[in-house]
């Protein structure tokens, strides 16, 4: 299939799930997905060979995350997404709100920091450059909620409700850049909230929940706006090919429904992940406290008991 928005996509038969899931690779995303899986596998193998453990769950999360990207970009969904707003919205929601969560739970940055070799003294290798990036002013800015939340919102409203979307859809490069942007925005939005990897902006768990719920409602509002529109709002999908047998406004309403409904899924997944991380953080803190008490003979408790005893002595006078 031609993924440039022209050619064969104008003669697609009516959409069915079977046609949508048929293998139809986009070269850029196919190579990127295979490279991502290969690099992650290299990191895991390198750790195992030197006797270090790596959680199987993280490997599963990352693999499934990459597969979700491949699902929407290397199948017929990508072909139909060029001419059907509803299918494109499935792509957008998956690659910006589901794939990033799964990839982040795979902790690829932590794996890279553990697997990459330490450079010789006085030189900088890939590991040192990655550490510099993580601690850079740039990363502090792009992971701050003052940046991530507006960018998350602008990726919807500033893109679809301006001519920018139509401009990007006119070329293969523009379409690829847009989908990469969706993925990148999802990664920087969810990373400070529930990412396992270290980052410059890591607020407390309550603040993370507030950040999550500050961005999610705008996806719902966006979906409702599409559903309530009385005419097509995006030029690319105003005149769908006759071979599809669809109505542009009905397809737009379906796209709005998908955007509205999908906004709830990441909220639940991220909330569960946050509560799980919070619980284990408290457990680790309790264990550290117990170990400290064992080392110092529970001096804090002894001091408190001595304080109570002194109060009792003074009270008995």
pLDDT at position 250: 95
pLDDT at position 3: 46
Q: With 50 as the cut, is the pLDDT of residue 4 above it?
A: no
The per-residue pLDDT for range 223-264, each reduced to its tens digit, is: 999 999 989 999 999 999 999 999 999 999 999 999 988 877
pLDDT at position 315: 56
What distance lies between CA 94 and its chain's CA centroid?
9
The count of other CB atoms within 10 Å of the CB of residue 293 is: 13
For residues 232 and 220, the model is more confident at 232
Lowest mean pLDDT among 174-183, 195-204, 253-262, 304-313: 304-313
- Average pLDDT of the chain? 85
To the nearest 10 degrees (0 to 180), the angle between helices 85-93 and 248-262 is 20
The per-residue pLDDT for range 56-88, each reduced to its tens digit, is: 999 999 999 999 999 999 999 999 999 999 999
Model confidence at 5, pLDDT cuts 50, 70, 90, reads very low
Lowest mean pLDDT among 3-12, 81-90, 94-103: 3-12
pTM of the model: 0.81
pLDDT at position 217: 79
pLDDT at position 263: 76
Q: Where are the domains of the chain?
A: 15-117+126-313
Q: With 60 as the cut, is the pLDDT of residue 156 above it?
A: yes
77-to-3, 20, 234, 265 alpha-carbon distances in Å = 11, 5, 19, 20
Mean pLDDT computed over 135-146: 86
Q: In a 10 Å sphere around its CB, with 0-12 CB exposed, 13-18 middle and 19+ buried, how is residue 3 labelled?
A: buried
Model confidence at 194, pLDDT cuts 50, 70, 90, reads confident
Q: Give the closest residue to 103 by CA, choosing from 70, 130, 136.
A: 70
pLDDT at position 114: 92
The per-residue pLDDT for range 38-61, each reduced to its tens digit, is: 999 999 999 999 989 999 999 999
Lowest mean pLDDT among 106-115, 126-135, 165-174: 126-135
The per-residue pLDDT for range 258-311, each reduced to its tens digit, is: 998 887 777 777 777 777 777 766 676 656 665 655 566 566 556 656 666 666
Model confidence at 1, pLDDT cuts 50, 70, 90, reads very low
């Amino acid at each position: 299939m031609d993924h440039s928005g022209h050619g064969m996509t104008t003669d697609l038969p009516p959409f069915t799930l079977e046609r949508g899931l048929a293998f139809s690779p986009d070269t850029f995303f196919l190579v990127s997905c295979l490279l991502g899986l290969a690099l992650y596998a290299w990191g895991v193998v390198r750790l195992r060979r030197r006797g270090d453990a790596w959680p199987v769950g993280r490997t599963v999360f990352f693999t499934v995350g990459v597969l979700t990207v491949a699902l929407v970009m290397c199948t017929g969904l990508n072909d139909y997404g060029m001419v059907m707003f509803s299918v494109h919205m499935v792509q957008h929601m998956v690659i910006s709100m589901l794939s990033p969560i799964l990839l982040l739970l795979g902790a690829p940055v932590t794996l890279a920091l553990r697997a990459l070799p330490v450079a010789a003294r006085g030189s900088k290798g890939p590991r040192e450059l990655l550490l510099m990036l993580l601690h850079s002013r740039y990363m502090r800015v792009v992971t701050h909620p003052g940046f991530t939340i507006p960018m998350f919102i602008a990726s919807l409203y500033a893109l679809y409700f301006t001519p920018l979307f139509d401009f990007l859809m006119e070329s293969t490069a523009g379409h690829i850049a847009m989908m990469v942007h969706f993925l990148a925005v999802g990664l920087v939005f969810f990373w400070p909230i529930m990412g396992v990897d270290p980052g410059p902006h890591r607020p407390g768990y309550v603040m993370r929940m507030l950040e999550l719920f500050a961005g999610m409602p705008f996806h719902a509002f966006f979906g409702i706006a599409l559903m309530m529109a009385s005419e097509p709002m995006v030029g690319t999908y105003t005149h769908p090919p006759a071979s599809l047998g669809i109505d542009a406004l009905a397809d737009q309403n379906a796209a709005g429904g998908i955007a509205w409904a999908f906004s709830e899924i990441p909220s639940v997944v991220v909330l569960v992940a946050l509560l799980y991380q919070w619980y284990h953080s408290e457990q680790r803190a309790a264990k550290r406290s117990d170990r400290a008490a064992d080392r110092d003979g529970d001096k804090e408790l002894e001091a408190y008991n001595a304080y109570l005893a002194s109060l009792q002595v003074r009270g008995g006078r």
